[in-house]
């Protein structure tokens, strides 16, 4: 085997690998550890009911269960154990299925779903892993993944062609797995090189005739687990997989990335503090409109039956999400994923039900005539200034949302939302996040008792005191 030369210690892959391998729990500030615990609670919660609400997932999960293998890591809500990489896959594919996961609104992709499934799978494989160890592994990986996303976001002017949740998520999953295995900085960098063999993923994943969009984090999680385990056993991936001449940034982004966003004040300031948590299970780009619609109703005491018409304002970038619904022409959401990405459908749900919940995205809801008739009242109005604002504010690439509701008396009520509820600048309340977890577990295919549910909530919220994280996984498995 040819001897590889040492990479430059100042090269970003090496710097980030040291951060992942060498950061200790005590170096994580209290607000950061609290945010990590919320991410864990939120991500586990949305995994639990996903295959029940999105049956398309079952075939992929069943495939792995049928294959079997060494029983080392739990398939949550199934009562089955599989090899760690298979468990990471079966849990990961449920992370984005409900469009309910945490995310970073400047990077514009989900974070916890790429990091948490591989960390949990390898923690079970290892045996006794403390809550502090889990917090640290997930924390360094989420920080790394947030910074990867921001470094790209600050050099782009539009989304695509890459689906960065997939492309960059491979590296985030690998970071979590590497830290959970206590790999050295050298081994971590080698693991990134192995994961780079699997790097890819374009926006084609959101094609309307495909059902794999919500499953991507499973592929990411499996890649991360296998890459870290291989590096642990001495497999040598290439160094410098992020910023070398043949690395990620050069080949996938034509060298357009912000190096300072990756490494400036690394370990002293934390980008993961800007994670946002979803109060509604729909595409993040619909949330400003949901928030605005709920605000109009609450502030003006408008009843659904009084609404004559609704206008939604957006730039051209969000035009596709604002497509009109026409029942007679069959222009209605055909799938649950279609509904989650439809501004008209979400605004109609908010107007009619004064909330947006998991129960609003079922096959029955897609054919609810009263809901579709309300959605027919929604019309798009172009607001070009929103296109400019979408990429102008550091820390936020979520375009504003604006609605104008006209009632049968001819009165019009208008509201614009820049930072919808759940945005990191308008954070979700802790009690709402806990209630979200309860709502999700109530729909789990394998019932979880109220006692076990509350035990898990308490242990996650006090995770630093947990001696063995299997105390959390066992009641959910």
Q: Residue 232: phi, psi to the nearest 5? A: -60, -30
Question: Residue 246, Cα to own-chain centre: how many angstroms?
Answer: 28
At residue 130, the 3 state secondary structure works out as: coil
Residue 211: pLDDT band (50, 70, 90) is confident
CA distance 145 to 322: 30
pTM: 0.94
CA distance 212 to 218: 10
287-305 confidence digits (pLDDT tens)? 999 999 999 999 999 999 9
The residue-averaged pLDDT of 138-142 equals 98
399-448 confidence digits (pLDDT tens)? 899 999 999 999 999 999 999 999 999 999 999 999 999 999 999 999 99
The residues pairing with 266 across neighbouring beta strands, listed in sequence order, are 269
For the four alpha carbons of 235, 236, 237 and 241, in that order, the dihedral sign comes to positive
What confidence score (pLDDT) does residue 475 get?
96
The yes-or-no verdict on residue 1 having pLDDT over 60 is: no
The residues pairing with 245 across neighbouring beta strands, listed in sequence order, are none
The answer to whether 175 and 115 have CB atoms below 8 angstroms apart is: yes
What confidence score (pLDDT) does residue 391 get?
53
The two tokens of residue 65 are 């269960």
The yes-or-no verdict on residue 103 having pLDDT over 60 is: yes
Q: Residue 396: phi, psi to the nearest 5? A: -155, 115
Q: Angle 255-260-264 (CA atoms, 0-180°, nearest 5)?
A: 150
The answer to whether 440 and 49 have CB atoms below 8 angstroms apart is: yes
The answer to whether 192 and 241 have CB atoms below 8 angstroms apart is: yes
What confidence score (pLDDT) does residue 251 get?
94
CA distance 180 to 331: 48
Rounded to 10 deg, the angle between the 131-153 and 112-126 helix axes is 150
HSE at residue 108, side-chain half, CA atoms within 13 A, is 20
The yes-or-no verdict on residue 237 having pLDDT over 60 is: yes
CA distance 167 to 348: 34
Nearest to 108 by CA among 139, 154, 140: 154
What confidence score (pLDDT) does residue 212 get?
87
Residue 4: pLDDT band (50, 70, 90) is very low
Nearest to 41 by CA among 430, 457, 358: 457
- Pure H helices in 68-215: 84-92, 112-126, 131-153, 164-167, 169-180, 185-195
75 sits in which H/E element: strand 73-75
The CATH homologous superfamily of the domain defined by 12-279+435-476: 2-methylcitrate dehydratase PrpD (1.10.4100.10)
CA distance 51 to 98: 9
What confidence score (pLDDT) does residue 18 get?
98
For the chain, the domains span: 12-279+435-476, 284-417
The residue-averaged pLDDT of 173-191 equals 98
What confidence score (pLDDT) does residue 384 get?
84
The answer to whether 324 and 345 have CB atoms below 8 angstroms apart is: no
The yes-or-no verdict on residue 92 having pLDDT over 80 is: yes
Nearest to 261 by CA among 143, 171, 170: 143
CA distance 199 to 208: 23
- The answer as to CATH 3.30.1330.120 being correct for domain 284-417 is yes
């Amino acid at each position: 085997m040819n001897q590889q030369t040492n990479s430059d210690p100042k090269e970003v892959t090496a710097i980030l690998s040291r951060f992942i391998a060498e950061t200790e729990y005590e170096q994580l500030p209290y607000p950061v550890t609290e945010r990590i615990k919320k991410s864990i609670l939120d991500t586990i919660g949305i995994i639990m009911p996903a295959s029940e609400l999105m049956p398309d997932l079952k075939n992929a999960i069943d495939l792995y269960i049928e294959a079997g293998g060494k029983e080392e890591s739990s398939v949550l809500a199934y009562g089955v154990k599989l090899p760690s990489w298979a468990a990471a896959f079966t849990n990961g594919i449920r992370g984005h299925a409900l469009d309910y996961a945490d995310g970073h609104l400047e990077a514009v992709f989900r974070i916890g779903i790429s990091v948490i499934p591989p960390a949990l799978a390898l923690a079970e494989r290892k045996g006794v892993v403390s809550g502090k160890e889990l917090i640290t592994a997930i924390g360094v990986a989420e920080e790394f993944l947030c910074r990867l996303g921001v470094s790209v976001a600050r050099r782009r002017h539009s989304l695509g062609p890459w689906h960065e949740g997939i492309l960059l998520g491979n590296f985030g999953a690998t970071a979590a797995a590497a830290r959970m295995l206590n790999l050295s900085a050298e081994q971590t960098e080698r693991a990134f090189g192995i994961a780079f063999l699997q790097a890819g993923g374009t926006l084609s994943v959101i094609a309307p005739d495909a059902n794999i969009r919500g499953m991507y984090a499973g592929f990411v999680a499996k890649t991360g687990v296998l890459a870290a385990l291989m590096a642990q056993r001495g497999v040598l991936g290439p160094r410098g997989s992020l910023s070398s001449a043949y690395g990620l940034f050069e080949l996938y982004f034509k060298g357009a990335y912000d190096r300072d966003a990756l490494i400036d004040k690394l370990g002293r300031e934390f980008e993961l503090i800007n994670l946002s948590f979803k109060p509604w299970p729909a595409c993040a780009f619909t949330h400003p409109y949901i928030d605005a619609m709920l605000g109009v109703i609450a502030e003006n005491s408008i009843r659904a039956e009084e609404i004559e018409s609704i206008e939604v304002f957006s730039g051209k970038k969000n035009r596709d999400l604002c497509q009109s619904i026409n029942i007679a022409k069959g222009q209605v959401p055909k799938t649950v994923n279609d509904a989650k990405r439809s501004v008209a459908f979400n605004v109609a749900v908010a107007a009619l039900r004064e909330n947006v919940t998991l129960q609003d995205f079922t096959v029955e809801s897609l054919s609810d005539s009263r809901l579709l008739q309300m959605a027919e009242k929604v019309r798009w109005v172009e607001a070009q200034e929103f296109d400019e604002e979408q990429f102008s504010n550091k820390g936020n690439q979520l375009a504003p949302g604006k609605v104008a509701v006209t009632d049968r008396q001819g009165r019009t009520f208008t509201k614009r939302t820049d930072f919808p509820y759940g945005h990191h600048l308008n954070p979700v309340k802790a009690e709402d996040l806990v209630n979200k977890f309860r709502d999700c577990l109530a729909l789990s295919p394998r019932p979880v008792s109220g006692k076990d549910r509350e035990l898990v909530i308490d242990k996650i919220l006090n995770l630093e005191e947990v001696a063995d994280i299997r105390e959390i996984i066992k009641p959910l498995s």
